[in-house]
């Protein structure tokens, strides 16, 4: 079970794993972050002594952390602290940048993510990503969500219909989109586009969802909808979110990691980070005494 291709076969994209909470009411599925909830979680992502270099410049320094399954973990820190760079290591997005060298280890379950022979396309099926700027394809709403499945060779209309509806429902955009599925996704508002991006990410039934500043271009109401969605999805997905907005980290995450100048300064339950952090640099950052 070295590469992710094995686990791909155990979980075809059109057959979702058993979601324990499926069918429950929305409100009962909302996962309120608490200190206790971080304790019974098992490890999903293991990062060991990870360093990253852009040419000769080192951007990440000997990072080690364990990110729990089915929890929301937030990465916070000032610009240039390495939080997005680390996020992009998790699904090998840094491969796209020339001259990047990574040392150390990064595992998602048993998959050695940094293995040069790894099937990166298969990896990204398991690790979805939502970006700061929503990026719908210039296609219909339906095709945007179905895209990942079509790539994977699924063309059965019945399965596609099912997955599109289920994904849009889970991403809390079904009611707004159901009567215009064949219309261009570019006609949706920013907040709707971002929820569509989340629907597209979950259509291929990933295990991990990475979010890089998912709300920074959205108004407060659209932001609240995404945050509610994050809370709901966290019962079935492992979510890692990078955010500049500390209140957002406080509101949405179970655990918070604070990075500064490429180093992991402190990683603890979100309640601890925001009420009683142990490291002075974290204290200075969350109270606004920085720089």
34 binds other proteins (CB under 8 A): no
Q: Given the rule CB under 8 A, which of 17-25, 57-65, 106-114, 280-288 is the region that contacts other proteins?
A: 280-288
Q: Given the rule CB under 8 A, which of 69-77, 133-141, 184-192, 278-286 is the region that contacts other proteins?
A: 278-286
Q: Alpha-carbon distance 187 to 124, whole Å?
A: 27
Q: In the bound complex, what is the minimum distance in angstroms from residue 267's beta carbon to other proteins?
A: 15
288 binds other proteins (CB under 8 A): yes
CA nearest to 214, candidates 145, 135, 137, 130? 130
Residue count, binding to other proteins (CB under 8 A):
17
246 binds other proteins (CB under 8 A): yes
Strands 57-68 and 111-112 come out as: unpaired
- Looking at 46-153, list the stretches that DSSP marks H as alpha helix, in order from N- to C-terminal side: 83-90, 120-126, 141-151
Coil, helix or strand at residue 102: strand
Q: Given the rule CB under 8 A, which of 90-98, 138-146, 174-182, 242-250 is the region that contacts other proteins?
A: 242-250
277 binds other proteins (CB under 8 A): yes
Among the listed residues 34, 42, 103, 275, the single contact to other proteins using CB under 8 A? 275
Site string for other proteins, 82-101 (x = CB under 8 A): --------------------
Q: In the bound complex, what is the minimum distance in angstroms from residue 288's beta carbon to other proteins?
A: 5
Coil, helix or strand at residue 275: helix
Q: Alpha-carbon distance 28 to 148, whole Å?
A: 30
Q: Alpha-carbon distance 99 to 163, whole Å?
A: 39
Site string for other proteins, 198-237 (x = CB under 8 A): ----------------------------------------
Among the listed residues 115, 165, 228, 283, the single contact to other proteins using CB under 8 A? 283
Strand order in the sheet with 127-130: 127-130, 208-212, 238-242, 72-76, 255-260, 263-269
Question: Is the Cβ of residue 10 or residue 247 nearer to other proteins in the bound state?
Answer: 247
Q: In the bound complex, what is the minimum distance in angstroms from residue 282's beta carbon to other proteins?
A: 8
Q: In the bound complex, what is the minimum distance in angstroms from residue 258's beta carbon to other proteins?
A: 11
Under a CB-based contact definition with an 8 Å cutoff, are residues 60 and 85 in contact? yes
32: buried, middle or exposed (CB in 10 Å: 19+, 13-18, 0-12)? exposed
Find where tokens 């210039």 sit: 138
Among the listed residues 250, 255, 264, 265, the single contact to other proteins using CB under 8 A? 250
Query: Rg of the chain's alpha carbons, rounded to an integer?
Result: 19
274 binds other proteins (CB under 8 A): yes
Coil, helix or strand at residue 160: helix
Among the listed residues 133, 150, 162, 290, the single contact to other proteins using CB under 8 A? 290
Question: Is the Cβ of residue 11 or residue 245 nearer to other proteins in the bound state?
Answer: 245
What are the tokens at 218? 């959205």
| Residues shown for the chain | 291
Under a CB-based contact definition with an 8 Å cutoff, are residues 74 and 259 in contact? no
Q: Given the rule CB under 8 A, which of 59-67, 163-171, 258-266, 276-284 is the region that contacts other proteins?
A: 276-284
Which residues in this chain contact other proteins in the complex, by CB under 8 A? Answer: 246-247, 250, 274-277, 280, 282-284, 286-291
């Amino acid at each position: 079970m070295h590469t992710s291709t094995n686990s791909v076969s155990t979980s075809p994209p059109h057959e979702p794993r058993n979601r324990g909470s499926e069918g429950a009411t929305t409100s009962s599925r909302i996962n309120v972050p608490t200190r206790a909830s971080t304790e019974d979680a098992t490890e999903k992502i293991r990062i060991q002594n990870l360093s990253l270099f852009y040419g000769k410049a080192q951007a990440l320094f000997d990072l080690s952390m364990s990110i729990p399954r089915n929890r929301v973990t937030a990465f916070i820190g000032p610009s240039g602290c390495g939080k997005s760079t680390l996020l992009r290591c998790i699904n090998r997005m840094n491969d796209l940048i020339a001259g990047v060298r990574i040392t150390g280890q990064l595992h998602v379950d048993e998959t050695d993510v940094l293995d040069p022979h790894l099937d990166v396309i298969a990896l990204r099926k398991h690790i979805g990503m939502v970006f700061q700027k929503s990026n719908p394809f210039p296609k219909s709403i339906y095709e945007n969500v179905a895209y990942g499945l079509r790539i994977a060779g699924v063309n059965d209309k019945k399965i596609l219909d099912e997955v599109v509806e289920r994904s849009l429902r889970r991403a809390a955009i079904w009611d707004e989109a159901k009567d215009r599925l064949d219309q261009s996704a570019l006609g949706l508002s920013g907040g709707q586009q971002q929820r569509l991006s989340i629907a597209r990410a979950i259509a291929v039934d990933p295990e991990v969802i990475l979010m890089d500043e998912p709300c920074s271009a959205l108004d407060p109401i659209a932001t609240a909808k995404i945050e509610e969605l994050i809370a709901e999805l966290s019962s079935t997905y492992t979510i890692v979110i990078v955010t500049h907005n500390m209140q957002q980290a406080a509101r949405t995450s179970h655990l918070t990691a604070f990075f500064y100048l490429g180093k992991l300064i402190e990683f603890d339950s979100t309640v601890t980070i925001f009420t009683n952090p142990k490291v002075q640099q974290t204290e200075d950052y969350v109270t606004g005494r920085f720089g």
